[in-house]
Amino acid sequence: MRDRETAELALKASETGHLVLSTLHTVNAGQAIARIVGMFDQEEEKQIRQRLAETIRWIVGQRLVPKVGGGRWAVHDILANTIRSNELIVNGEQEGKTFYDIQDVGDPYLMMTFDQALLRSYEQGIITEETAVAYSTRKSIVQRGIDQIKQKRGQKTSDVEGLRLDIDYNRKLGSDRTMADETQAQFGAQRLALVCENAPERQVVIRAAVEQLGYAMLPPPRPRKRPSGCAASPTTS
């Protein structure tokens, strides 16, 4: 089906009880719906989606990928018209609700994605790892699946070597935090050790606060002729 007239004839034939088999150039099975809907005007979209939901039974996609030892190998993308997929045909795909997600968990209904077919072919030794990744729809899913297959075989999943667990890391981190806390406490004690020459009544409160932190406060400096204000006295612990 390449145009609106052909798609309309196919829909009418299927609606009258005929078995219609047709081909369509798309990326995957889910995109086939969007491709057919796109052949019609926008105001007809709702009606076309309803007609497709009532007539489509299966959508099967196919990719020919290089095979180990030469030749080509067919991997398939299969979508069945179930309750969940029928809802997406009528309403369209949404975030968290895609044909891919339905196919990914649709094995009981004989559904599969291209990625699942590629992983099965790689596990059987029919195609290489590079081919599986190159022809995948979602590369991260295929790469993760390949790593799981390698782990089952006892193969390495990474070229990184020489890594080890630093058992003393938490101990070192705790020591660094303790030193930082002590430094902060000393700085706080110095801030509290301000002796106001013109407000001796505050010395009792300040001294109590400093000693509560575990530090001793030096006696106030000798009076000097200077503008009224506060002078900072160093502390010792």
* pTM (predicted TM-score): 0.65
The confidence score (pLDDT) of residue 179 equals 60
Residue 66's beta-bridge partner residues? 72
How confident is the model at residue 10, as a pLDDT?
94
The first and second tokens of residue 129, run together, are 């790892």
Q: What is the pLDDT of residue 156?
A: 75
Name which of 137, 42, 54 is nearest 90 in CA terms. 54
42: left (phi over 0), alpha (psi -120 to 50) or beta: alpha
Residues of the chain with CATH 3.40.50.300: 4-113
Token pair, residue 155, equals 């193969």
235 Cβ neighbours under 8 A, 6+ residues apart: 186, 189, 190, 193, 210, 215, 216, 217, 218
Please give the structure tokens belonging to residue 107. 């094995």
CB 39 within 8 A of CB 4: yes
Torsion angle, alpha carbons of 175, 179, 180, 184, to 10 = 150
Q: Name which of 172, 170, 166, 206 is nearest 190 in CA terms.
A: 206
CATH number for region 4-113: 3.40.50.300
Of 91, 87, 90, 82, give the one whose Cα is nearest residue 59.
Answer: 82
Residue 232's pLDDT is 47
Which regions in the chain score pLDDT beneath 50?
Answer: 195-198, 229-233, 235-237
Residues with Cβ within 8 Å of 227's Cβ and at least 6 positions away in sequence, in order, are: none
